[in-house]
């Protein structure tokens, strides 16, 4: 059949079966180079829609004889589809065997050929197409903002990861199928275009268009491409190696200096990573841009990182210390990806942790380099270690190396706590036992060996194993890869039991068991290749030791003795580098508690924080008496450190969730008020001190206002009222979230409407986020319901923010029932809005069901899953985890509510005794 060059749609109405009935592309064709030309039109048509047109030619080497070309495509309308080749010039059209057609299930453009392609030859596929420049936050899409003059401005931007490059142009949209790209973008002044590489030429075209052509990219994955057409300004800096770094943002944001902090730290972080990895940054520029609408926090596109505004812009006059840290950490995370994810990429999405786990760990190194007083290494345990534990103690978790990744929704679901936080935890644990020298040497050799190519974890582990040999450090007992695969290929994590054979013995028996929050769950289901045993690097320390000791706990069910040369207390997982919990005999727990009450400072702060996390979770799982876990909190009245308090508040928040409407809440809130009073009075409302002291002041004031410390809410309301009545906001940036929230929680519609008006008019994204959170704090039901009507209306709330509003409302005791009813009623609408974006479903479902602890709520949740099984998308795993968590909560209340109530009432009676 003659080549089809001008059809508006394929004629095939039924999709034939064939090898394309698979999420993975075959290895018949390998992309080498793309030439892509895109023209996004920022002027809407008569129906208010924006469109882009484009051409693409992808050059492919033929590996295996095949009579089909198929390539990813989604939501593109084709006017020309022309296979070409073979030959050096590739100008000859290849005859097609019928019409091309689109496979909807796996999003392929399929071109049947009359004859087989010959292995060893090169062919191409030329296409002309059109796509909608919609506001769905995926692929090539539009974003809007209001400029300083009040005019609405439209820009075009991208989010390709993981499977949306195919929405911008037809491509081999898998991470391992790397190629070079020659990109051209059309725009009309005053707009300009930026992409991964520097502009090579600007050419004036008809109709007032300018065509920007960019230098060819290095060999890279499709999901790392980035295109932006905008009218932004920028600030510029350079590294020592003369790499140009620019921060782009809306003109008013640049004028206000909000891009300056990111501009200052970017060259320093890049330089530090070059030195740490001993591998040069491979591109001539490093651009970063903050766009008004973005689904994720940021995206590491090579040479053009795209951010949500809250993750890149910072103004010290109105933004808080936590805003500043978020900018530094996200910039460090995305710049780490320039090596881990961009220079090397995973063979398939099942090894996403090689990207996200590395970036999540290395962000601490980069942030610590530019802000050494922030104690980033201490913060790791509350930000990532404990977060990972919270998910990985469920039977509905998953291994780091994922299984059964068969649909785009299942790929999206991998962008979760396991890939990010657990991945970072395992890398941090490896760094500690291999040592810094071997860790860095292995990474350098691994990056050199696989630059511009795809990788899997086996290759990484081989290089670390060889590095340990090269530097002379002892490897794990059965070899690096064999022992570390126990952490890669099975879900969950262990509890290490360390128990003396008698109170006066120096022999401690060491054993391991899988940690599960649900004590009734079968610990061997689903099955694991290692029967849920791990090779564990156990660091421990006694009261009198100057340094910790490392022993390996191997895959055995037999307790192994370790000699601990003291009858005083001992501590496992000292400094919390291990990805495991530790449990002790009651006598050792009580000795630890006594030491904390006598002098908590002799125990490392990370260890103190992890003791609290371990104790409360072991108690929840039925492995420790709750009296011990609660006794462990008493030292908090003397310890003012952020790490210990953040750990404690995170764990105690479980009581807020499941006991907020029970008789326990009275004595519980009284006890929390008792614990926090010293800290609150010591830190005061004066906003000064080191970084984590500022963080802890926020914790102290928040807890004091929540649990009824006299004068706290009144102080917050007074500061808010001064702003409300004078129009001048003199509330310190660090305390604005707390002041706003507690005021709206204790006031009515007049104050809420004032904050709503401020929210609508605020141009600073971080301040807008604080106002947004405050709006979710109201305790007035009709205000909650009215707010919900606004959430899915983009004239009021940007689509990128709606999910976080729903999540925050669900954590509000007074709003969550109304919000959950609304979500169930509107789920189809929510799914239609967020069906292609990251994170939203899992976050909404987990937050809105986190308090479920009754049989009625369990039934509601199961019915929700049944009713919406086809519209859960990437939230399916979160729904299953919510069902498991609800069952666990029900069992927990039955087993522990009375004993917790008894301890709290007795403790408050003791405290209040004359």
Q: What is the DSSP letter of 734?
A: G
Query: Terminus-to-terminus CA distance in the chain, angstroms?
Result: 98
Q: Give CA angle at 671 (669, 672), nearest 5°.
A: 65
The whole-angstrom separation of Cα 581 and Cα 392 is 12
Q: In the 3-class helix/strand/coil scheme, how is 628-686 assigned residue by residue?
A: HHHHHHHHHHCCCCHHHHHHHHHHHHHHHHHHCCCCCHHHHHHHHHHHHHHHHHHHCCC
Provide the 10 A C-beta neighbour count for residue 856. 8
| CA dihedral sign of residues 724, 681, 708, 651 | positive
Helix (H, G, I), strand (E, B) or coil at 82: strand
The whole-angstrom separation of Cα 47 and Cα 851 is 44
Please compute, for residue 510, the number of CA atoms within 13 A of its CA located in the half-sphere on the CB side: 27
- Please count the residues of the chain: 914
Left (φ > 0), alpha (ψ -120 to 50) or beta: where does 351 sit?
Answer: alpha
Which position among 132, 309, 334, 651 bears the catalytic label? 334
Cα–Cα nearest to 87, from 63, 112, 61, 55:
61
| DSSP codes, 125-193 | EEEEEEEE--SSSSEEEEEEEE-TTS-EEEEEEEE-TTTTGGGTS-B--STT--BEEEEEEEE-TT-EE
In this structure, what token pair is assigned to residue 107?
């999003």
Burial 211-247 (b: 16+ CB within 10 A, else e): bbbbbbbbbbbbbbbbbbbbbbbbbebebeeebebbb
The whole-angstrom separation of Cα 611 and Cα 634 is 13
- Calculate the CA dihedral of residues 661, 704, 385, 836 and round it to 10 degrees: 60
Token pair 């990474």 in the structure block, residue: 443
Would residue 334 show up in a list of annotated catalytic residues for this protein?
yes
Helix locations, 421-577, DSSP H: 423-434, 436-450, 457-471, 480-488
The whole-angstrom separation of Cα 423 and Cα 400 is 7
The whole-angstrom separation of Cα 239 and Cα 286 is 10
Spatial neighbors of 471 by CB under 8 A, at least 6 apart, are 435, 437, 438, 441
The whole-angstrom separation of Cα 679 and Cα 117 is 74
Catalytic residues: 334
């Amino acid at each position: 059949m003659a080549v089809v060059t001008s059809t508006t749609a394929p004629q095939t109405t039924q999709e034939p079966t064939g090898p394309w009935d698979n999420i993975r592309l075959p290895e018949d064709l390998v992309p080498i180079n793309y030439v892509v030309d895109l023209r996004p039109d920022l002027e809407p048509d008569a129906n208010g829609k924006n469109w882009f047109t484009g051409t693409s030619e992808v050059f492919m080497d033929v590996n295996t004889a095949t009579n089909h070309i198929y390539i990813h495509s989604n939501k593109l309308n084709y006017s020309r589809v022309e296979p070409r080749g073979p030959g050096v010039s590739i100008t000859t059209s290849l005859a097609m065997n019928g019409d091309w057609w689109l496979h909807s299930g796996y999003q392929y453009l399929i071109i049947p050929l009359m004859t087989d392609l010959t292995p060893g030859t090169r062919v191409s596929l030329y296409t002309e197409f059109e796509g909608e420049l919609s506001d769905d936050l995926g692929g090539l899409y539009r974003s809007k903002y209001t400029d300083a003059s009040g005019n609405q401005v439209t820009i075009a931007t991208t989010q390709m990861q993981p499977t949306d490059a195919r929405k911008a142009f037809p491509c081999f949209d898998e991470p391992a199928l790397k190629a070079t790209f020659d990109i051209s973008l059309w725009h009309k002044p005053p707009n300009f275009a930026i992409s991964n590489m520097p502009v090579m030429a600007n050419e004036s075209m008809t109709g007032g268009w300018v065509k920007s052509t960019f230098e060819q990219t290095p060999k890279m994955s499709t999901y790392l491409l980035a295109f932006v057409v905008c009218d932004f300004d920028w600030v510029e800096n350079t590294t020592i190696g003369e790499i140009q770094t620019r921060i782009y943002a809306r003109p008013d944001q640049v004028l206000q200096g909000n891009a300056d902090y990111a501009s200052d730290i970017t060259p320093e972080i890049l330089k530090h990573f070059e030195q740490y990895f001993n591998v040069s940054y491979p591109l001539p520029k490093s651009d970063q841009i903050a766009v008004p609408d973005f689904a994720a926090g940021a995206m590491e596109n090579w040479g053009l990182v795209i951010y949500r505004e809250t993750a890149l812009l910072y103004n010290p006059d109105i933004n808080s210390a936590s805003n500043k840290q978020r900018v530094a950490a996200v910039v460090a995370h995305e710049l780490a990806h320039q090596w881990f994810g961009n220079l090397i990429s995973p063979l398939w999405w099942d090894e996403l942790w090689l990207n996200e786990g590395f970036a999540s760990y290395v962000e601490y190194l980069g942030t610590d380099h530019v802000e050494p007083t922030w104690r980033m290494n201490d913060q790791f345990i509350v930000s990532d270690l404990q977060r990972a534990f919270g998910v990985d103690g469920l039977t509905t978790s998953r291994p780091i190396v994922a299984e059964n990744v068969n649909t785009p929704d299942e790929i999206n679901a991998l962008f979760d706590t396991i890939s990010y936080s657990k991945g970072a935890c395992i890398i941090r644990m490896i760094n500690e036992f291999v040592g810094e020298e071997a860790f860095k040497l292995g990474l350098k050799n691994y990056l050199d060996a696989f630059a511009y190519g795809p990788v899997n974890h086996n290759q990484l582990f081989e290089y670390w194993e060889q590095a340990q040999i090269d530097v002379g450090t002892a490897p794990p007992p059965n070899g690096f890869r064999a022992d570390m695969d126990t952490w890669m290929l099975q879900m969950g994590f262990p509890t290490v039991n360390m128990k003396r054979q008698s109170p006066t013995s120096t022999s401690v028996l060491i054993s391991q068991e899988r940690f599960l929050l649900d004590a009734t769950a079968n610990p061997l289901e689903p099955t694991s290749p290692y029967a849920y045993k791990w090779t564990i690097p156990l660091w421990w320390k006694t009261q009198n030791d100057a340094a910790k000791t490392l022993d390996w706990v191997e895959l055995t069910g037999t307790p192994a003795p370790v000699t601990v040369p003291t009858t005083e207390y001992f501590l496992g997982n000292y400094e919390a580098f291990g990805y495991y919990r530790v449990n002790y005999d009651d006598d050792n727990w009580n000795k630890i508690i006594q030491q904390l009450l006598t002098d908590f400072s002799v125990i490392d702060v990370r260890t103190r924080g992890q003791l609290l996390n371990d104790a409360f979770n072991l108690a929840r799982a039925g492995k420790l008496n709750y009296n011990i876990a609660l006794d462990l909190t008493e030292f908090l009245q003397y310890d003012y450190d952020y790490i210990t308090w953040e750990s404690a508040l995170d764990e105690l928040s479980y009581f807020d969730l499941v006991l907020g409407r029970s008789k326990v809440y009275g004595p519980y809130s009284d006890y929390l008020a008792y614990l926090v009073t010293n800290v609150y009075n010591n830190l005061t409302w004066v906003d000064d001190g080191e970084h984590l002291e500022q963080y802890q002041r926020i914790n102290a004031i928040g807890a004091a206002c929540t649990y009824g410390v006299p004068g706290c809410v009144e102080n917050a309301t007074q500061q808010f009222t001064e702003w409300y009545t004078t129009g001048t906001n003199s509330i310190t940036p660090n305390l604005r979230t707390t002041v706003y929230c507690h005021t709206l929680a204790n006031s009515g519609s007049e104050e809420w409407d004032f904050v709503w008006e401020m929210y609508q008019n605020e141009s600073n994204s971080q301040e807008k986020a604080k106002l947004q959170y405050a709006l979710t704090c109201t305790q007035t039901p009709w205000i909650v319901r009215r707010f919900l009507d606004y959430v899915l209306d983009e004239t009021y709330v940007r689509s990128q923010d709606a999910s976080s509003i729903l999540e925050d409302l669900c954590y509000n005791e007074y709003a969550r029932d109304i919000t959950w009813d609304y979500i169930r009623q509107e789920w189809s609408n929510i799914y239609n809005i967020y069906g292609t974006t990251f994170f939203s479903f899992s976050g909404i479902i987990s937050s809105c069901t986190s308090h479920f602890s009754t049989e009625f709520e369990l039934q509601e949740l199961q019915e929700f899953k049944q009713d919406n099984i086809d519209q859960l998308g990437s939230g399916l795993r979160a729904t299953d985890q919510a069902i498991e968590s609800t069952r666990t909560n029900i069992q927990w209340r039955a087993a522990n509510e009375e004993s917790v109530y008894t301890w709290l009432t007795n403790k408050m009676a003791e405290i209040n005794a004359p």
